[in-house]
Amino acid sequence: MKKFFSIGIIRGLIFQILGSFAGAGIFYGIRVLMGLQWKTEPTIVVGGLVGAIFFLVGQGSLRDWWHVAIGKEMPEAHEVKPYPGLRRYFEFTLDHKVVGVQYGVLSMVLLSVGGSLALIFRLELANSGLQILDFIQFNTLVGLHGMVLIISILTGIAALGNYLVPLLIGAEDMAFPRLNAFSFWIAIPASVILLSAMFFGGFETGWTGYPPNSVRGPMGVQMFFLGVYIAGWSSILGALNLVATIIRMRNKGMNLFRMPILVWSVFSTSFMAMTATQLIGLSFQLVMFERLLGMSFFTPSNGGNPILFQHLFWFYSHPAVYIFVLPGLGVISELLPVFVRKPLFGYKWVAMSSMGIAAVGFLVWGHHMFAAGIEDYLRVPFMYSSLLVAVPTGVKFFSWAATIWQGKVRFAVPLLFTLGAILVFLLGGLTGPPLGTVSTDLHLHDTYFIVGHFHDTMFGGFIFPIFAAIYYWYPKITGRKLNETLGKIHFYLMTPSFLLMTFGQMRIGLLGMRRRIADYDPSLNFDFTQLLITIAGYLIAISVLIFFINLIISAKKGELATGNIWKSRSPEWAILPSPAPAHNYEGFEFKLVGDPYDYGLKGSKYVELTTSSNSKSEAVL
């Protein structure tokens, strides 16, 4: 029992609960001393915030910094002895690979939570009429589904970045290992607070939280804002760490255009996350203040401007969609050459297209507001810039097609998911332009067409690639391969179901089905398609369940992965054993002797380890 409580995450969660009560109590106490009445909403917000801090304290995420602050000696990251076995995944650990896996597990947990929320409201939508939910339940589920999955995606890409980037660039670890672990651990209380919105009255704003609606609705919206706000910290700090790592920690000879391509996309993504996330935090924080302190930023009756919020919000939330998909697109570019046995076509162009998307991505937020009541002198330029995104995205597609061209394809499970990703992302990309031109968007805005479109981009840009990545790198983590047959069932069940789902969504959207409605007019004849969408949604869920079972079974029973199972040139496969050792390339000289994707070039290699000198690898500065 004592051992149970000594586990970091358990301690953290217990501390969070206690901290929430303590925070609420102290706040109430202060109010009583000031002669004020009980007020539920601020008390709960303060409780939530204090709870999050308590989590970090209890979990031990702040211990090292505290030690530095009081002048205690602190060991270097690589001198810290890791916890043995599975235990390390529940503790504050400095090994980037462990943190990567922690992120990955959190991402998958949130994926199943967010997905399950959708399964509930899809049941409601299977028929017209209200059957199992009331409005507030439905509205809360829809909003949480969106935001929980966003956090799942953010932690998923953090998993990719943390686990892979140091391995791929030949670094010992991340630039700031403690900050790295901190960024992960702060995401846990954030997720807990976010989910608690359900129990504080829910919220009826969707994931976008537009005021004045969010200023009026039930109190759960505060927990929603607070959760996202704290998760934002995780995202910003994690991104900062990755940027620093990529700039400063590359091994000898690893110049920018010889890095594995995934590193480029992680770099572009992190750059955006590091600079844009503040805006969603800020906009949500302002609404919180509006509710708590009666300040008025966005409510017109008190002199506020509701459109201002939308500008602030989308200034992050548009780049956010590129933040979500770029790592996934990087995975596609990374895996294709391995499985078609050909060099990545136009490496530099692909690398630069990520940066191009990141750059243009900052200039297009207005396309979410074409119907919001902004002037035409804004709508038209935003239309030009939005369509411009098609250019770097096109470069990626053409380069992938050219990479596959004349390739000798091996249809392993990771490749299947990569191809699925290309197909689905293509659909997502092609359904974009009708939303980008203003007049057609006036019809499509806030309909199920949008819902179909962004599920395409999220599945094509994140879900399919992350599954590909897990099938591909799982052996590097566990030393065992995932079961192929289960993997194929997963793929062949999920892909057609998914296509059915989004085609259905887009079709009824075009015909007039609005977003975020609990019930729809039976005279529109959407019942049958809605039923199909629901069935498809459940099939996807079953396929993912099969995947989870595979993850668990294969960890113990999977086929042992010895050597370079994918015949990859990348250093983590070419030179490291599976599972990867705790200290990446320690005791070896890491030498770059070629380009990353020269498949088909006889006798060439990307990296070599020379055992001769026992020196530790040094980072190129």
Partner 1 sequence: MKHLAIISILVIIFTLLANYFLQSVGLLPVEASEQATVIDKLFNTHFWIISFLFSLISVVVVYSLIVFRRKGDDEDEGDGKYITGNNTLEVVWTVIPLITVIFFSFLGAKSLAATKVIEPEALNVNVTAGQWYWFFEYPDFEIKTDTLFLPVDRQVKLTMTSVDVIHSFWVPEFRVKQDVLPGDNFVKELYLTPTVVGDYTVRCAEFCGGAHAYMNSPVKVMSKEKFQDWVDTELGNQPKDPVSKGQKLVTQNGCVGCHSSDGKEGVGPTWKGLFGSTQKLSDGSTVTVDEEYLTNSIVKPNVQIVAGYPANVMPSNYADLFSQDELSSIIAFIKSLQ
Closest CA to 164 of 215, 103, 109: 103
395 binds partner 1 (CB under 8 A): yes
- Of 394, 496, 581, 587, the one binding partner 1 (CB under 8 A) is 394
522 binds partner 1 (CB under 8 A): no
| Phi/psi at 423 (5° precision) | -60, -50
In the DSSP assignment, the letter for residue 560 is: B
- Of 65, 405, 492, 548, the one binding partner 1 (CB under 8 A) is 405
Q: Closest CB to partner 1 among 159 and 344?
A: 344
594 binds partner 1 (CB under 8 A): no
- Of 121, 314, 345, 566, the one binding partner 1 (CB under 8 A) is 345
Q: Closest CB to partner 1 among 96 and 396?
A: 396
- Of 164, 422, 469, 541, the one binding partner 1 (CB under 8 A) is 422
The CA angle 434-141-110, to the nearest 5 degrees, is 90
Q: Residue 504 to residues 48, 198, 431, 521: CA-CA distances in angstroms?
A: 40, 29, 14, 17
Binding range to partner 1, per CB under 8 A, among 27-35, 45-53, 249-257, 406-414: 406-414
What single letter denotes the amino acid at residue 338? V
Q: Closest CB to partner 1 among 171 and 438?
A: 438
- Cβ atoms < 10 Å from Cβ of 399: 19
What is the total count of residues that contact partner 1 (CB under 8 A)? 92
Query: Binding to partner 1 (CB under 8 A): which residues in 447-486?
Result: 447
- Of 103, 397, 464, 498, the one binding partner 1 (CB under 8 A) is 397
433 binds partner 1 (CB under 8 A): yes
Q: Residue 110 to residues 45, 105, 106, 144, 325: CA-CA distances in angstroms?
A: 23, 9, 6, 11, 17
564 binds partner 1 (CB under 8 A): no
- Of 32, 409, 552, 560, the one binding partner 1 (CB under 8 A) is 409
In DSSP terms, 480 is beta-bridged to 560
State in angstroms the smallest separation of the CB of 215 from partner 1. 8
State in angstroms the smallest separation of the CB of 374 from partner 1. 10
In DSSP terms, 251 is beta-bridged to 619
CA 468 to CA 426: how far, in whole Å?
A: 17
Write b or e for each residue in 229-243: b if 16 or more Cβ atoms lie within 10 A of its Cβ, otherwise e: bbbbbbbbbbbbbbb
301 binds partner 1 (CB under 8 A): yes
379 binds partner 1 (CB under 8 A): yes
**Tokens 């939280």 -> residue:** 209
What single letter denotes the amino acid at residue 241? N
State in angstroms the smallest separation of the CB of 463 from partner 1. 20
For β-strands 607-610 and 589-592, DSSP reports them as antiparallel
Binding mask 113-142 for partner 1 (x = CB under 8 A): ----------------------xx--x---
205 binds partner 1 (CB under 8 A): yes
- Of 343, 361, 414, 465, the one binding partner 1 (CB under 8 A) is 343
Binding range to partner 1, per CB under 8 A, among 57-65, 189-197, 226-234, 596-604: 596-604
445 binds partner 1 (CB under 8 A): yes
Binding range to partner 1, per CB under 8 A, among 30-38, 251-259, 319-327, 597-605: 597-605
Question: What stretch of H or E contains 155?
Answer: helix 135-169
The CA angle 361-455-500, to the nearest 5 degrees, is 145
347 binds partner 1 (CB under 8 A): yes
Closest CA to 451 of 365, 349, 533, 573: 533
Q: Counting Cβ atoms within 10 Å, is residue 325 exposed (0-12), middle (13-18) or buried (19+)?
A: buried
DSSP one-letter string for 123-138: HHHTSSS--S--HHHH
Query: Binding to partner 1 (CB under 8 A): which residues in 132-191?
Result: 135-136, 139
**C-alpha 224: how far from its chain's center?**
17
Strand, coil or helix: 514: strand
CA 234 to CA 465: how far, in whole Å?
A: 22
**Residue spans of alpha helices (H) in 249-305:** 261-293
342 binds partner 1 (CB under 8 A): yes
Binding range to partner 1, per CB under 8 A, among 50-58, 179-187, 212-220, 315-323: 212-220
Binding range to partner 1, per CB under 8 A, among 39-47, 149-157, 294-302, 534-542: 294-302
State in angstroms the smallest separation of the CB of 341 from partner 1. 4
Binding range to partner 1, per CB under 8 A, among 84-92, 255-263, 389-397, 575-583: 389-397
307 binds partner 1 (CB under 8 A): yes
Give the total residue count for the chain.
Answer: 621
41 binds partner 1 (CB under 8 A): no
- Of 517, 535, 555, 620, the one binding partner 1 (CB under 8 A) is 517
376 binds partner 1 (CB under 8 A): yes
Q: Closest CB to partner 1 among 92 and 566?
A: 566
Q: Give me 436's structure tokens.
A: 């980008």
Q: Closest CB to partner 1 among 4 and 377?
A: 377
In the DSSP assignment, the letter for residue 513 is: P
- Of 510, 546, 555, 609, the one binding partner 1 (CB under 8 A) is 510
